[in-house]
DNA sequence: CTCACCTACAACCATTTGGTGGTAGGTTAG
DNA sequence: CTAACCTACCACCAAATGGTTGTAGGTGAG
């Protein structure tokens, strides 16, 4: 039992969303700032609709959330969602690492001061 | 090997290769075992050529290696490569962790340590 | 109200992807 | 040698992706 919350489709969407440099840049921008979609769009050499689609892909993957503020939609990166991608990698690795190694990884994570500000929630 | 040498293209290839359930399953199989391409192909409800393409995608991403043994090509998962994907996620996270940390410091020094949703113009 | 702006959504197009089959070359067995 | 097998590579096709433009609706300012 590893990532019970993450279905194969969810992992597909997660990695697919991450497999694009524009989308990864959007993630960086919307983690440091909280721009509207149109302001985001001005940062890239493509149309507003194209950026809108990228944001939609990220939103479907659960990597960003949108918050209505007036006539704008503020986009913000869900920091914990990247933790879900990490869990998907853990799940992959656990296959060939075995349970003992996995447990030691958990122990190592416990002894080290991991980030507390980004709670890794399996619930999406 | 320094891992900071991950180019954007490399990250693209990594995540794209991981964004497919068949390819992820191939990774699991070829980490536990070291099957030939044809034996691998028999495990999936698709043609040999299709599986061959999936293996090629994984190989280009550096996730598996092929070893010639007679007339066969044994496929094996490069365990360290998944670590590279993890580092790509680390890179993503570190970007905004640093910036968020800096912004928090600025906010703490200047005004109340609340979110930046506090009044922007006027004091309300 | 009008005007400007932001957003969502549709239609459309070029390219890529994921699948198919077929063919050619190399290797092991008989 | 022939036969059987494994692999690489080709052409082809349907579907998805990434981009474009255009249109319609909602919101804020004057």
DSSP code of B67? E
Question: Which whole number is the average pLDDT over B78-89?
Answer: 88
- pLDDT tens string A52-108: 999 999 999 999 999 999 899 999 999 888 888 999 898 888 877 664 454 455 545
Buried b or exposed e, range A39-48, using 16+ CB within 10 angstroms: ebbeeeeeee
Taking the Cβ of residue A56 and every Cβ of chain B, the question of whether any pair is shorter than 8 Å is answered with no
> Chains A and B: how many Cβ contacts under 8 Å?
86
- pLDDT score of A113 more than 50: no
Q: Which residues, at least 6 apart from A67, have a Cβ–Cβ distance to it below 8 Å?
A: A34, A73, A74, A76
How far is it, in rounded angstroms, from Cα B103 to Cα B105?
5
Q: At what angle do helices B8-18 and B79-110 cross, to 10 degrees?
A: 110
Structural domains in chain A, CATH included, are 8-78 (1.10.10.10)
CB contact under 8 A, B12 and A19: yes
Contacts of B22 in chain A (CB under 8 A): none
Decide: A101 and A19 in contact? Cβ < 8 Å: no
Least confident piece of the model among A3-17, A21-35, B27-41: A3-17
**With an 8 Å Cβ cutoff, is B32 touching chain A?**
yes
pLDDT, residue B1, reads 47
CA distance B53 to B35: 16
Tell me how close the Cα of A15 comes to any Cα of chain B, in angstroms: 5
pLDDT digits (tens, 9 = 90+) for B91-122: 888 877 765 555 555 545 544 333 333 332 33
Residue of A nearest to B16 (CA): A19
Report the SS3 class of residue A44: coil
Quick check: A55 and A66 in contact, CB under 8 A?
A: yes
Nucleotide D10: closest residue by CA–C1': B49
| Contacts B78 to A, Cβ<8 Å | none
Burial of B45 (0-12, 13-18, 19+ CB in 10 A): exposed
Beta bridge partners of B115: none
């Amino acid at each position: 039992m590893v990532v019970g919350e993450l279905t194969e489709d969810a992992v597909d969407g997660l990695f697919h969303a991450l497999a694009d440099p524009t989308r990864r840049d959007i993630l960086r921008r919307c983690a440091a700032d909280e721009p509207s979609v149109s302001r985001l769009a001005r940062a890239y050499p493509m149309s507003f609709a194209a950026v809108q689609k990228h944001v939609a892909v990220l939103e479907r993957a659960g990597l960003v959330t949108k918050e209505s503020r007036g006539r704008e939609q503020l986009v913000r990166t869900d920091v914990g969602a990247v933790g879900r991608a990490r869990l998907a990698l853990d799940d992959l690795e656990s296959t060939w690492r075995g349970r003992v190694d996995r447990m030691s990884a958990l122990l190592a994570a416990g002894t080290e001061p991991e980030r507390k500000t980004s709670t890794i929630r399996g619930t999406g």
